[in-house]
Amino acid sequence: MSSADLDPVLREKYERLLAVLRELGGVVVAFSGGVDSTFLGYAARDALGERALLATADSESYPSAELEEARRLAALLGMRHLVVRTWELNNPEYAKNPPNRCFFCKEELFTRLEPVAEAEGLSHIVYGANLDDLGDHRPGMVAARQMGVKAPLLEAELTKQEIRELSRAAGLPTWDKPSFACLSSRVPYGDPVTREKLRQVEAAEAAVRAFGFRQFRVRHHGDLARLEVAREEMGRLWEEGRAAAIATRLRELGFAHVTVDLRGFRSGSMNEALRVLPPQP
């Protein structure tokens, strides 16, 4: 990416990001293959070359299609890439699905990445938190702070939209990739997360994606599947028999009822229920 072609504000922020990364000396990038971590990987390669390593978690809450996408993107970036198995679902604190569930997920991930960084002689683990995350419910950021994991995009004061713009300038295919969260985020807080539920959600979302939808979620409410589709895509549900076909497939996967949320897709919509949950001890 030629920084000379960038808007001056973006150019300054990108140079700041490179400076933050160079100061770290060597990094393991927690790499999901999403917009943020892919751009962070790109910048780490730019700043540190071989002193940057990508590492992706292989877990039950991470769809196999996303893992394959992470492998493809790592090859595109030309960077070393490790896949590390994580076992957050074995932690009862995670499985019971409290509002701070993501704390235990990130704690597990960073714990698994620590020996990787040590073995590779890399001094820091970094992840893709950005400025917008400060205004959201992000318990994983608490785990990162407690474990000394760095957030270079946040330090460079980059927003999600700016990361997309920089990704586009860099020619990264993820610049317009829809936002993604782990499969456990489809299960309401307080409702235990199980392997069966995660497999059910993964298969259901694969079915919806096969009809060409890009931004959506299948929320798991016991025997009811609540489908959130981006408003600009919602009209397509009612064309060419898509809604009926999706409902049939989701019933085959074990959902007795399939409903469409008329409010459309909302990132983190499960967090809307936090205000009615009892306080956590």
What string of H, E and C letters represents the secondary structure of the chain? CCHHHCCHHHHHHHHHHHHHHHHHCCEEEECCCCHHHHHHHHHHHHHHHHHEEEEEEECCCCCHHHHHHHHHHHHHHCCCEEEEECCHHHCHHHHCCCCCHHHHHHHHHHHHHHHHHHHHCCCEEECCCCHHHHHCCCHHHHHHHHHCCECHHHHCCCCHHHHHHHHHHCCCHHHHCCCCCCHHHHCCCCCCCCHHHHHHHHHHHHHHHCCCCCCEEEEEECCEEEEEECHHHHHHHCCCCHHHHHHHHHHHCCCCEEEECCCCCCCCHHHHHHHHCCCCC
CATH number at residue 250: 3.30.70
User: In this structure, are 84 and 146 located in the same domain?
Assistant: yes
Classify 240 in phi/psi space as left (phi over 0), alpha (psi -120 to 50) or beta: left
User: In this structure, are 166 and 187 located in the same domain?
Assistant: no
Boundary of a domain, candidates 113, 142, 174: 174
User: In this structure, are 154 and 215 located in the same domain?
Assistant: no
User: In this structure, are 73 and 148 located in the same domain?
Assistant: yes
Is 80 contained in some domain? Answer: yes
Is 244 contained in some domain? Answer: yes
Q: What pLDDT score was predicted for residue 181?
A: 87
Is 281 contained in some domain? Answer: no
Residue with tokens 């205004």: 135
Is 30 contained in some domain? Answer: yes
Is 83 contained in some domain? Answer: yes
Residue 89's alpha-carbon distances to 180, 192, 236, in angstroms, are 19, 10, 36
Boundary of a domain, candidates 147, 174, 201: 174
229-253: per-residue pLDDT in tens? Answer: 999 999 999 999 999 999 999 999 9
Q: What pLDDT score was predicted for residue 23?
A: 98
Which residues are registered as beta bridge partners of 58? 85
User: In this structure, are 252 and 123 located in the same domain?
Assistant: no
Q: Which residue has the higher pLDDT, 249 or 5?
A: 249
CATH number at residue 109: 3.40.50.620
- Residue ranges making up the domain that contains 126: 3-174
Indicate the number of domains in the chain: 2
**What is the pTM assigned to this prediction?**
0.90
143-180: per-residue pLDDT in tens? Answer: 999 999 999 999 999 999 999 999 999 999 999 999 88
Average pLDDT, integer, range 122-141? 92
Q: What pLDDT score was predicted for residue 268?
A: 60
Half-sphere exposure of 241 (CA within 13 A, CB side): 3
